[in-house]
């Protein structure tokens, strides 16, 4: 049976020099969350290595590797649902940008490989090509919790409204987005996209980004965010490391969907969105 409130801890993480130091740092941040204060903890995109497409293969790990084991153990230790942001996953010669979700027993309950690779070249701004080293995933990802069904995508995936809508069509009421918008795209589109997807799909949208490192080759915008189905910004951080807990009122979501029933009023006799 679904509960009416889901409390999410957004961990806007500062990078550490090594994976091992990062593990210890995350464990300290998550361990400092008071017992029972959060139901789900969420980490940012590509937290276990530098956000540099050229380097993704060097710190990629196989399914079940050290970072997977760390996340599984952390979920079990803290007795929370854990969205492990994303890490570089190696399968044979291929490398994926992959997000894992674990239940409070440390069992993996979801896995999403980033479907849309971030290949951009903005005049006077950011140039970045994930496809130089990454392979795209091909699955729409939702998972069940005692609170509600939740959708999952990674960063650039969020720019494609079809994917968000497919998760909602599959029953999602919350959409988790580990992400790392940069200093070009972040100021322009970060809040705009999270509010838009929340309103269009009548869901809660949750974006968790790395804290900004001014010395990194790729500088994160930060500003981890939570938006309501009405488009309200319930929480938005700055660029520094922080852990924020936000309560998502699922009764409010049902109220919005009842009073403004856009999902029910779609003209499926004229158009529809389907998985191939």
Q: Where are the domains of the chain?
A: 5-259
β strands within 16-56, DSSP E: 40-42
Q: Which CATH superfamily is domain 5-259 in?
A: Carbon-nitrogen hydrolase (3.60.110.10)
The encoded tokens of residue 211 equal 């804290």
- Cβ(110)–Cβ(143) under 8 Å? yes
114 catalytic? Reply is yes
Over residues 118-142, the mean pLDDT reads 86
pLDDT for residue 127 is more than 80: no
Kindly name the residue from 83, 148, 153, 155 that is annotated as catalytic: 155
Q: What is the pLDDT of residues 5-41, one digit of tens each?
A: 999 999 999 989 999 999 999 999 999 999 999 999 9
Kindly name the residue from 61, 83, 89, 114 that is annotated as catalytic: 114
Q: Identify the pLDDT of residue 22.
A: 97
Q: How far apart are CA 27 and CA 178, in angstroms?
A: 18
Q: How far apart are CA 59 and CA 86, in angstroms?
A: 13
pLDDT for residue 1 is more than 70: no
Over residues 110-136, the mean pLDDT reads 87
15 catalytic? Reply is no
Residues 6 or more apart in contact with residue 185 via CB below 8 angstroms: 120, 122, 125, 126, 221
Beta bridge partners of 68: none
Q: Identify the pLDDT of residue 3.
A: 62
Over residues 224-240, the mean pLDDT reads 98
């Amino acid at each position: 049976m679904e509960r009416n409130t889901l409390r999410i801890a957004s961990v806007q993480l500062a990078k550490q020099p090594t994976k091992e130091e990062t593990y210890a740092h995350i464990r300290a941040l998550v361990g400092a969350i008071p017992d029972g204060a959060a139901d789900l903890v969420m980490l940012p995109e590509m937290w276990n290595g530098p956000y540099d497409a050229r380097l993704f293969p060097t710190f990629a790990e196989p399914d079940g590797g050290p970072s997977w084991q760390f996340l599984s153990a952390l979920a079990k230790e803290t007795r929370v649902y854990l969205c492990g942001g994303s890490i570089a996953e190696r399968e044979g010669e291929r490398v994926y940008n992959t997000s894992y979700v674990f239940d409070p027993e440390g069992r993996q309950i979801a896995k999403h490989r980033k479907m849309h690779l971030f290949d951009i070249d903005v005049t006077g701004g950011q140039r970045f090509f994930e496809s130089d080293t990454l392979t795209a995933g091909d699955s729409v990802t939702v998972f069940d919790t005692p609170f509600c069904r939740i959708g999952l995508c990674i960063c650039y995936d969020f720019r494609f409204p079809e994917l968000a809508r497919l998760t909602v069509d599959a029953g999602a009421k919350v959409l988790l987005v580990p992400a790392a918008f940069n200093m070009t795209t972040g100021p322009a589109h970060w809040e705009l996209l999270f509010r838009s997807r929340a309103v269009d799909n009548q869901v809660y949208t949750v974006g968790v980004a790395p804290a900004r490192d001014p010395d990194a080759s790729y500088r994160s915008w930060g500003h981890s965010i939570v938006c309501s189905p009405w488009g309200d910004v319930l929480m938005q951080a700055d660029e520094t490391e922080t852990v924020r807990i936000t309560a998502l009122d699922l009764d409010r979501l049902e109220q919005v969907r009842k009073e403004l029933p856009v999902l029910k009023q779609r003209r499926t006799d004229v158009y529809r969105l389907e998985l191939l």
